[in-house]
Amino acid sequence: MRISDSVANYILELLKEADGIAEIQRNELAGSLGCVPSQINYVLASRFTPEQGYLVESRRGGGGYIRITRLQISKPDMIMHIINAVGDSLDAGTARAMSENMLQNGVLHKEAVDLIQAAVSEKALALVPRELRNYVRASIYKNMLIAARA
């Protein structure tokens, strides 16, 4: 398991135990997990974003901390937030990560995620010129989320 996965899993466990709000001290967490503090920052910036349903606040200084809060928003609102976050272009990896996050957070069922992933896969878009794939993928992804929301 990669260190970023270990850090993310540790934070997810903290969130689960603390009813959706966890406070960590970056240096302390890095020391206990055997990584550098910047790795903690990377995980927070890439896996605990508002688009993924999290709010991250930090307070610097000697008694500083990082507070991660799982946002409590309705499923339709979460889907609309993700649709708005997609923009005009979406790569396959980001689509997969967003879909997995929606599955983990109970926003979409596995069947819906599997269908969306099949529709936006490289295989499905193989006949689309490479320079247009991410634009077409974004359009398909957003439209499928709109349909899933209804």
* CB within 8 Å of 91: residues ≥ 6 apart: 134, 137
Lowest mean pLDDT among 48-62, 114-128, 131-145: 48-62
CATH topology of domain 3-70: Phenylalanyl-tRNA Synthetase; Chain B, domain 1 (3.30.56)
How far is residue 129's CA from residue 134's CA, in Å, rounded to a whole number?
10
14 has pLDDT over 70: yes
Side chain identity at residue 128, one-letter code = V
Mean pLDDT (the chain) is 88
CB atoms inside a 10 Å sphere around CB 121: 14
pLDDT reported for residue 105? 77
39-52 confidence digits (pLDDT tens): 988 999 888 887 67
C-alpha dist (Å) from residue 134 to 85, 96, 107: 14, 13, 23
Q: How far apart are CA 16 and CA 19, in angstroms?
A: 6
144 has a pLDDT exceeding 80: yes
* pLDDT the model gives residue 63: 61
pTM above 0.75, yes or no: no
Contact predicate 3/39, CB 8 Å: yes
Q: Which of 68, 54, 52 is nearest to 107 (CA)?
A: 52
* pLDDT of residue 118 exceeding 90: yes
